């Protein structure tokens, strides 16, 4: 069996789960139009006769020594479990439609998951299910047309929205015992509760009352409404919660616009980062901690800024990037984006920010802001700098940059920078990973995907996969990439690449010097019967496994 796709499918390589030191994942095959569950120990590949479907929430999870996962063996998506050798179908639905289970979560000796079953009238009904490893049953109806089913744990209890006599409200579960926490929207009206976070063992959530969405906390038995906002409106938030210094921070809307708010479970305070009616819109989801301070990107009076907050919630510094000249975004072809991809290295935070000269690389220790001088890029228009997948090699930080002259690999020790020309004509550069003493990445040239490696000095190819034409349903062939993103397993990288024989699983691993890196190709059916290998130069070895 080989990986690949039926004519209208792209290759699928997703939902990785490690169980008993083996990698389980979903992939599509040439023989079928749906996905199939595979496992590998890094040397051999085998498959299960079930299809997990496309990724929806958590597809697999270990519970009581077995792996639970969603799968379809011909009668719709159902929950399965395996010990790695045999599989058991829990079969919640009596009909061929299946139960469509997804989003597995464990809490102690309890496994919770979502699913849907067709009732006697032919209508799909959504439920929260529970199993203790012996018996499986539905706990509550979670039908809603306006809110995606979810479940979160805090303080030893499991929280979820469910339909009851008071509409869709927040419930808690302890094993199979369920309890309605609060009726936020009195009567039959739905409050559409949404998770916010956990603090001091209590669960925080937002819910819709007649005036708007408010903020609440609960221990699972009783709920308390926090004083935000004073006068709820449909767009008051709060959203984008994060824990820092024993408090929850979030974005909310008040009389000063969208600003930063903080609660310790009692009072709610706010910091007007951009004084006046305009909003700073602090990007709490992009923040990072440094030396017991919180660095939050947002909008200041002089353009984008990084706001520095201490553990008491006080603004102690503001690092301004500067205003972008009007019209410059269009002329230079970049987007006016807030600071992003914050990455700590040697006690400083590096990030991409948009200032007067467009996208640039910045660093800060929380006290001062420095724009890095990328001298080797002089004369090039920097379109973007990405540090979210930055890697450290031999004491230097490596990250990627997109310029008018192609993609560059930028190296810095914090004081000086240099660049390595990765591919002048490449369309994209992605998947920067560290394996052994080398960096591995993918370059898409516009006609192929090239798997490459570098020691920071020179770049060499490990393999190249030409684009392939397929019918995506538009009535004409589309050329699509022939390699998937990397998945890390142990200290190795796995990906699917399309060869003349179809899609194959590839493994990249560090090997003893002088070889450096080895790439192994698996034909995807059971145990390999024949092995071929050859050495290319002194830095890599490529081996392929074939079926007899």
Helix (H) or strand (E) holding 38: strand 35-40
Angle at CA 146, nearest 5°, toward 94 and 255?
155
Q: What is the pLDDT of residue 527?
A: 24
Q: What is the mean pLDDT of each run of 10 residues along the chain (548 residues)?
A: 44 79 80 76 85 70 95 89 90 86 94 90 90 93 76 94 91 94 87 94 92 91 87 80 96 90 93 92 95 96 95 96 69 70 94 83 94 67 79 92 78 86 70 92 87 88 84 68 87 86 85 65 40 26 26
Say how far apart CA 150 and CA 203 lie, in whole Å.
14
Q: What is the pLDDT of residue 260?
A: 95
64: which residues sit within 8 A by CB, 6+ positions away?
Answer: 109, 133
Bond before 355 cis per omega within 30 degrees: no
Q: What is the pLDDT of residue 397?
A: 93
Q: Rg of the Cα trace of the chain?
A: 26
| pTM to 2 decimal places | 0.85
Q: What is the pLDDT of residue 316?
A: 97
β-strand partners of 162: 169
Q: Where are the domains of the chain?
A: 157-259
Helix (H) or strand (E) holding 179: strand 177-182
Q: What is the pLDDT of residue 211?
A: 81
Helix (H) or strand (E) holding 435: strand 428-435
The span from the first CA to the last CA of the chain, in angstroms, equals: 12
Among residues 145, 268, 274, 293, the alpha carbon closest in space to that of 217 is found at 268
- 268-271 and 102-107 strand pairing: unpaired
Q: What is the pLDDT of residue 304?
A: 93
Q: What is the pLDDT of residue 146?
A: 60
Q: What is the pLDDT of residue 279?
A: 94
């Amino acid at each position: 069996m080989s990986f690949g796709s039926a004519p209208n499918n792209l290759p699928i390589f997703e939902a990785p789960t490690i169980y008993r030191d083996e990698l389980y994942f979903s992939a599509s095959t040439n023989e079928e139009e749906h996905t199939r569950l595979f496992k590998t120990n890094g040397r051999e590949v085998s498959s299960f006769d079930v299809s997990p479907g496309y990724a929806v929430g958590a597809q697999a999870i270990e519970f009581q020594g077995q792996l639970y996962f969603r799968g379809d063996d011909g009668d719709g998506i159902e929950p399965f479990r395996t010990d790695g050798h045999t599989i058991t179908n829990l079969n919640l639905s009596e009909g061929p439609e299946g139960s469509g289970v997804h989003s597995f979560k464990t809490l102690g000796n309890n496994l919770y998951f979502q699913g849907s079953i067709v009732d006697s009238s032919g209508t799909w009904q959504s439920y929260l299910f529970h199993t203790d490893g012996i018996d499986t049953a539905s706990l509550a109806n979670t039908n809603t047309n306006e809110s995606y089913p979810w479940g979160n744990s805090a303080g030893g209890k499991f929280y979820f929205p469910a339909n009851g006599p008071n509409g869709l409200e927040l419930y808690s579960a302890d094993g199979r015992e369920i309890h309605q926490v609060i009726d936020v929207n009195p009567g039959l009206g739905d409050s559409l509760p949404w998770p916010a976070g956990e603090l001091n063992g209590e669960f925080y959530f937002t819910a819709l009352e007649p005036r708007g969405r408010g903020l609440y906390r609960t221990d699972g038995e009783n709920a308390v409404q926090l004083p935000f906002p004073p006068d709820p409106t449909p767009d008051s938030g709060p959203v984008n919660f994060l824990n820092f210094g024993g408090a929850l921070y979030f974005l909310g809307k008040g009389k000063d616009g969208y600003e930063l708010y903080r609660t310790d479970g009692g009072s709610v305070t706010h910091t007007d980062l951009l004084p006046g009616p305009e909003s700073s819109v602090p990007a709490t989801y992009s923040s990072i901690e440094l030396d017991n301070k919180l660095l939050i990107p947002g909008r200041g009076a002089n353009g984008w800024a990084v706001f520095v907050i201490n553990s008491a919630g006080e603004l102690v510094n503001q690092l301004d990037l500067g205003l972008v000249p009007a019209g410059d975004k269009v002329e230079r072809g970049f987007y006016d984006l807030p600071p992003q991809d914050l990455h700590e290295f040697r006690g400083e935070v590096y990030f991409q920010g948009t200032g007067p000269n467009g996208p640039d690389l910045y660093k800060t220790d929380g006290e001062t802001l420095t724009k890095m001088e990328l001298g080797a890029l002089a004369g090039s228009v920097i379109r973007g700098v990405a540090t979210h997948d930055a890697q450290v090699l031999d004491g230097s930080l490596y990250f990627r940059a997109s310029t008018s002259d192609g993609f560059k690999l930028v190296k810095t020790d914090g004081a000086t920078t240099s660049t390595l020309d990765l591919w002048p004509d490449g369309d994209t550069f992605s998947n920067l990973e560290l394996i052994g003493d080398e960096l591995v990445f993918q370059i898409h040239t516009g006609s192929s995907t090239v798997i490459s490696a570098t020691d920071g000095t020179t770049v060499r190819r490990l393999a190249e996969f030409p684009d392939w034409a397929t019918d995506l349903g538009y009535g004409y062939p589309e050329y699509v990439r022939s390699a998937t993103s990397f998945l890390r397993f142990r200290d190795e990288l796995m990906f699917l690449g399309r060869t003349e024989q179809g899609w194959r699983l590839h493994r990249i691993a560090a090997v003893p010097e002088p070889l450096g890196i080895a790439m192994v190709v698996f034909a995807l059916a059971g145990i390999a019967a024949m092995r071929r290998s050859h050495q290319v130069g002194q830095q890599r070895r490529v081996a392929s496994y074939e079926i007899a």
